[in-house]
A and B are shown apart, each in its own frame.
Chain A
């Protein structure tokens, strides 16, 4: 093969041998594929900043800029932030005065409900996972399987008993109710996820701490927990995304004061008898993306970091 350069190599593709950074060809290919995956999101963001009248124009407008004349004028729209304003305040009737829509409250609800239920599940689930990992019960796997079964049924199957139970104990429409429900749903996932992280840790380290005089509680907090920070971060992000996007339970169990964004979004775009307001919908979606994006962005270092670093030579 020496001396001969294949077409792929000439184009910047590297041979699959050796370890190192990818060549330009591969990088470009990866970028194009990533861009295709990102396109729907980009389209939503662009729709959110389109004036209402061009949102559904045919042919569609594609870009807020002409990219130095690269894109013909007919595909370029003039960006506007107006849609974001109307998320929070707009006229509800034709020609009526602008009124507050309550979306500030719904965003607040989503943030409070999602983060508190995920955190609660993380606290309970991590303790439970450590228990399952280090102090196994007889038939440990059976318990874990039963816990997992709570996630096996589609939400729609359990929704009726849940509604009846919530009504009976007066939890419908309350923060406590929906937070408890989401916590319960996140728990199964959290326990399984965290147990696998704890299982990976070296038991010798914990034994050493016991011999050095540490109580089991101190072993957990001082030795085990710092080693699974990456796991906590990953579990938190996954749980947050699931909870943040949840629609069905929120639709049926939240009240006017505890409504979350996905539910409110559904109602906002279909109310007023004017058909679907696509730019408004896109604006809400864009705003809805931001919190999860930020959390994931700031935790990404933890998500990527190895679980144990340098304790045990394997």
Chain B
């Protein structure tokens, strides 16, 4: 890793700028964009907070205010919305659980929230008991993102027994394609994001036996393009967020060495705004907190110096998942 210290300034990780950028996100209430993205607020807190933990600045957002905000998004039925007044949905419920896991605050859910049992029930009720997959909310849209979210949150709360794991695993198998990858639903094209959700769900329940690791590893490694960045599907453009979706998949099948580490480091670091902080999808574009997190998780998975280690299955720091689930090694 010594050679990284010799990289030009723009290829050093601008840690301080990124911390400031994330801290500034909630003070942008005079920007129209802040209000247009309210439907992502709770996800945004998770993205920002996880990024800060990776940057080893876990205290950079106030813990109490974070818990207050998370709980203000909870509904009577246990589910969480994106912000107060927004409907409950799997995507936000998972973010809420992840945030509380990250800051070790499950007890607050019991003290001041609706309790873990209600959250678990909200999630479990979204399982389609016939096919095993999960809906996002009461309106019934189903895809593997929600299945993964359910496994992620329930396992962190120790409540996986509320759902039919075997059926869900069968459903994931039905989403597999000839190229070794997985799609959003049975029949859908392989996509790196869905490969992450399917592999991580299988990892959580220790059911990786059906994964065609060599075939999938080949497909995932072919995502790296000459500029070092990764794309999400064949013949598409690179994007920093795939640094996470592709790389975490490779990590779960122990093949991160099938792509070029330094080339990806270079690509992610070129996407930084070194002055004002944040990481963008491609060099020179607008930064956002989502790409900031997934740039950092990519760097972390490949062992970039000075970053906390990320868990490829949960997208939480390993220190967090080890505290909650015990060491898997």
B and A form one assembly: no
B interface with A by C-beta (< 8 Å)? none
A interface with B by C-beta (< 8 Å)? none
